[in-house]
Structure 1
């Protein structure tokens, strides 16, 4: 999954370089419901600083391995810029951590109800691909659960996830073609596909009706 894209990441950011604009344009983030935590900018910054220093990485080194400019990383760490979802994914991949490790901001126990009308959804730049997280961003986790929607004739290209990441997708409605490192699989309603997602992969809806999928993403326990 691209990212997908899940709790109140704003899309505003510092003025990006031309290179950053190319990296960031594929994802935007829907404004959170007023009852949701208003802004995770500071949380992402604190988590980024902690994870980066724990790994002994300078901003320059992290910039090289993530493809995100040093200026952008510095602004994110200081809580001065709310990163796009694509930037968060690139940083997570470079650090070898789940997406949730960067956005986690609290601990909770007991049942948690996630209301559909308060859902936080990632939306691709063309608006044809959306991702809704079906889990709270309360702690880093090795398994994540998403609802994915792909509009008629829509295509979504996904970059490789951290080494050892697995995607398990089931099509709940419609038809979806999934290409994994160049190998194509056509899934009808009820079909499921499991694959290693640390390679380039593509979701394509060949039909004239929207498709609905559910995704379980599992990260490797051996990730650094």
Structure 2
């Protein structure tokens, strides 16, 4: 985008923002003209991006519309971004080592490119008789208990985790559920991979 295009885009943005603020407050162009001392013709040109304006004019408009100068530009040139939303119950069910009856993994984000940065799982357990293997993987794991009570092993230590409790640990140390104390158990497990680790 060249300088002329940037200027045009900025004028369109300011014009649209001023029009939206004026309409939200049920003000006519005549109302704003009286309050600011700026002619109706000039205000119309500003809103339609047909003219540039001085900082003084912009300052008078922002005061009249009850916003700061910085608020006028708050959403200008903000990257559109992209986010992945997974609705409740729509996480992709995956099979991992140890997945058996009464033990499900739902992956809550995916398609992250060739090198995974993290993997968030919602894990549900509702079978007390299940025997769990230990896990080892690269990176760091964070778990947060949403429901139930579980005894969780990491290396030689065990931790009793209840609703609201969290545990963070190195993934390359053997770990996993030791005992299911109160069912059902639901918890978030987020594995964060090192940037130089391909998984």
Instruction: Output the CA distance in 2 between the equivalents of 1:203 and 1:148.
Output: 11
What are the residue-to-residue correspondences of 1:181-196 with 2, within 5 Å? 181-196=155-170
Q: Is the 8 A contact 2:101 2:127 kept in 1?
A: no
Tell me, yes or no, if structure 1 residue 142 matches structure 2 residue 114: no
List alignment gaps of at least 5 residues for structure 1: 1-108
Instruction: Output the CA distance in 1 between the equivalents of 2:88 and 2:153.
Output: 30
Equivalent position of 1:122 in the other structure: 94
Question: Deviation digits for residues 65-105 of structure 1, max 9, x if unmatched?
Answer: xxxxxxxxxxxxxxxxxxxxxxxxxxxxxxxxxxxxxxxxx
- RMSD (CA atoms): 2.2
Moved over 6 A (4+): none
Instruction: Output the CA distance in 1 between the equivalents of 2:99 and 2:194.
Output: 29
Equivalent position of 1:110 in the other structure: 82
Equivalent position of 1:156 in the other structure: 132
The normalised TM-score by structure 1 is 0.45
Question: Deviation digits for residues 178-206 of structure 1, max 9, x if unmatched?
Answer: 11123111111111101111021121443
Structure 1 residues 219 and 132: alpha-carbon distance in aligned structure 2, compared to 1, 3 A threshold: same
Structure 1 residues 187 and 125: alpha-carbon distance in aligned structure 2, compared to 1, 3 A threshold: closer
Instruction: Output the CA distance in 1 between the equivalents of 2:102 and 2:179.
Output: 10
Q: Is the 8 A contact 2:150 2:177 kept in 1?
A: yes
Equivalent pairs counted in the alignment come to 114
